[in-house]
Each structure stands twice: as C-alpha cells, then as structure tokens.
Amino acid sequence: MCGRFTLTAELETLQALFRFRYEGPLAPRFNIAPSQEVLTVVAEKGERVGKMMRWGLVPFWAKDVRIGTKMINARAETVDEKASFRQAFKRRRCLILADGFYEWKKEGKTKVPYRFTLATGAPFAFAGLWERWEGASGPLETCTIITTRANELIAPIHDRMPVILPSERHDDWLDPSFDDSEYLKTFLRPYPSEQMRMYEVAPLVNSPKNDVSACIEPVNSR
C-alpha cells in the first residue's frame, strides 16, 4: 500500500512539469497522511486543472464518508472490477502529485521508515481515481492512489508500490472520454527501479502530526 507521501516542490515547478491551472495556495508537505487534502490534476473541458481533494475515496453511492478511510489505495489488478472503483476508473481518473513516498521495513520488533523518490529528485504523478460525493453539507471530492506489485528496489521493504505514471501517459490517463480499460491497465505497472532511489529517514515520520522538513532528511546526514 501507499499510506504516506510528500510534495515539497514549488507550485511554479509543478505547473511547468504537469501543465495545469491552479490558483490556490500550496504549502510544502513533508508527511501527507490519509484523510488530508492532496493536490490532484484532472481534465476539465480540454484543459488540466489542479484541485485539492481529500485522500481516501468515497464512492458516489456511499451512505457514510467514513468509508474513505478504507479506500486510500486501489489495487491495479482489480481496479476495473471492484464496485468502489470501477466507474471512477472509466471516467474519473486523475494525477496525484508527489515527490516522494514512505514505506516501513520490519526489523525485529521495530519498523524502520524509508523514503522513495525518483533518481533525479523531480516531482512525479501517481495514477489516481477521484469521486464527487454529495452530502447534506455539500459536495466532497476525494481520491485514491492505485498500487501495483513492488519493483526490485522496493520489494525488500514492501510487496506493493504506488503506480507512478510517466509523462507520456498523462494525456490518455486524464482523458475522461478514453475508456479502453485493457489499454489503461497496461499503464499500471511497477516504475523502473533503476530510475528511483531510497534512503532511510528518522522515526519522526511515523506520526502524521509531524509535517516538517526533518521528515525527509536521510538519517546518515545528521
């Protein structure tokens, strides 16, 4: 699964890379956790638009928003079959912007956190799905990150990893009129391990209350 990630890049950098319109504020995030707001990119009327959405997908048919706590990830192998994700996979796909994510390795009775990034350190996009849920207090837009089997770099730490979409896949992924499920599922593969890097970080990241730059510092740099 993917349960924690980062987005520390400046808005101008993100807009140059992902070509989207967004007018809100954007603070650096060093420890993004489920149920928090994340920056997504969707296609609207032929252009890319940035939107903040709650992480944890709430299907449009749900009776209770609390279902979102169980929907932070969608498995690539069954994303077009599960009732919670099937319609979103056909019509409501998004990019979820990040520049790193965390996983934990069991070592005895402790879990050691590691951060994974691209080898270049550049921001990237997770393959995401989104939904709009209509409640008594108004509409709520939520999202989920699709996961796949781990690549060789991540496998010793965890057996799953988030799907990172290369830029040449973004247009087809975002296009709501494009519904070739079999073709889209070919996008949902492990990112090449040789294009990524990992390093150990401090247990500070274990608590989502800690959202500070020290979370992303390598332990051997202290």
- 164-181 burial, b at 16+ Cβ within 10 Å, e below that, comes to bbeeebbeebbeeeeeee
The active-site residue out of 94, 103, 141, 143 is 103
> At which residue do the structure tokens 């209770």 appear?
64
What span, in angstroms and rounded, lies between the C-alpha atoms of 125 and 18? 9
The verdict on whether 10 is a catalytic residue reads: no
* Beta bridge partner(s), residue 48: 43
What span, in angstroms and rounded, lies between the C-alpha atoms of 193 and 188? 15
DSSP structure class, residue 55: E
The verdict on whether 143 is a catalytic residue reads: no
CA distances for 95 relative to 47, 65, 108, 222, angstroms: 13, 22, 36, 34
What span, in angstroms and rounded, lies between the C-alpha atoms of 150 and 44? 32
Q: Which residues are catalytic?
A: 2, 103
